[in-house]
Amino acid sequence: MDLTLLYYLVPSIIMFACGVYGFITRKNLIAILISLELMLNSIDINFVVFNRFLFPGQMEGMFFALFAIAIAAAETALAIAIVINIFRVAKSVDVQNLTKMKF
């Protein structure tokens, strides 16, 4: 088995697709957040894989992944703050309740 680039991209793509699926289907805001983490994570994998296989001379992809992790962390922190906030106001974290403003 020649472990080429594409082998490593497959799980990443699936992970991303899972994230999209989860985002669209889940009702709980935190579950949606989890899906988001999956998506971000898969991107990190992409970067790292490309870096490792195609451009091993520098560390661009790895650094992007590194910073992306930090950004993801910041995002999550803020998101959770907001989720908690909405829970305080609406007593629910169900995304289906968040449709007061529309049309």
Partner 1 sequence: MNVVGNSIVYCVIALAIIVFSVLSVTSGKILRAATYLLFTLFSTAALYFHLGYEFLGAVQIAVYAGGILVLFVFSILLTSKPGNNAERLTSKRKTLGLIAAVAGAAVCTYALFSYFSSEVVTLFSTANTVTVEKIGEALLGTEKFQYLLPFEAISVLLLACIIGGVTIARKR
Partner 2 sequence: MDLSLSIITIFLPLLTFFVLGLLGMKMPKKTAGLIGTASMLVTTIVAYGVALNYFFNPDFMVGGVREAQLVFNETWLTMGENLKVSMGILVDPISAMMLIVISTISLMVHLYSLGYMHGEKGFQRYYAFLSLFTFSMLGLVVATNIFQMFIFFEMVGVSSYLLIGFYYQKHSAIAASKKAFIVTRFADLGFLIGIMLLAYYCDTFDFQTLMSNPGAIVGSSAGVTFLGCSAASWAMALIFIGGAGKSAMFPLHIWLPDAMEGPTPVSALIHAATMVVAGVFLVARMFPVYLATPEVLELITATGAVTALYAAIVACVQTDIKRVLAFSTISQIAFMFTALGVARPELHEGVGYMASMFHLFTHAMFKGLLFLCAGAIIHMVHSNEMDQMGNLRKYMPITHITFLIACLAIAGIPPFAGFFSKDEILVAAYENSTLWGVWMSVVAGLTAFYMFRLYYRIFWWSKPDYSHHTPHDCEWVMTLPLILLAVVSCLAGFIPFGHFVTWNGENYDIHLNWTVAGTSIAIALVGILVATVLYRKENSVPDRMADSVKGLYKAAYRRFYMDELYQFVTHKIIFGIICKSIAWFDHVIVDGTMNMLAHMTNNASYAIRKLQSGSIQFYVWVYFIGALLLGVVTFMLLI
Partner 3 sequence: MDYSQFLFMHHEIGVLIVFLLVFLFDTFLPARYQSKLAVTSCVLFGIYTVLSFFTPLDNAEAFSGMFVTSPIVASIKNILNVGMFIVLLQSIQWNNSDHEVIRRGEFIELMLVTLFGMYLMVSARHFLLFVIGLETASLPLAALVAFEKKQYESHEAAVKYLFTAVFSSAIYMLGLSFVYGFAGSLYFNDIAVACGLAEGSMLLYVALAFVVAGIGFKISLVPFHLWTADVYQGAPTSVTSYLSVVSKGAAAFAAFIVLTQAFGTVYSAVWEWMLYALIILTITIGNLFAIRQTNMKRFLAFSSISQAGYIMLGVIAFNATGIAALSYYVLIYVVSNLTAFGVIQAIENATDKVDMTDYNGLYKTNPKLAFAMMLAMFSLGGIPPFAGFFSKFFIFSSALAEGSVAMYVLVLIALINTIVSLYYYLLVVKAMFINPNDNPIPTFRSHWTERAGLVICVAGVLLIGLVSCIYTFLNQAASVSQLF
Interface contacts to partner 3, rule CB under 8 A:
16, 19, 23, 29, 32-33, 36, 39-40, 42-43, 46-47, 50-51, 54-55, 58, 60-61, 63-64, 67-68, 71, 74-75, 78-79, 81-83, 85-86, 89-90, 95, 98, 100-103
In degrees and rounded to multiples of 5, residue 94 shows phi and psi of -80, 125
Angle between helices 60-90 and 29-53 (to 10 degrees): 180
Of residues 20 and 103, the one with the C-beta less far from partner 1: 20
How far apart are the C-alpha atoms of 2 and 98, rounded to whole Å? 49
Query: Which pairs count as long-range contacts for 24-29, CB under 8 Å and 24+ apart, including other chains?
Result: 26/95, 27/94, 27/95, 27/96, 28/93, 28/94, 28/95, 29/83, 29/86, 29/93, 29/94, 29/95
For residue 39, the partner it binds in partner 1, partner 2, partner 3, none, with Cβ less than 5 to 8 A by kind, is: partner 3
Of residues 20 and 62, the one with the C-beta less far from partner 2: 20
Q: How far is the CB of 29 from partner 1 (least distance, A)?
A: 8
For residue 89, the partner it binds in partner 3, partner 1, partner 2, none, with Cβ less than 5 to 8 A by kind, is: partner 3
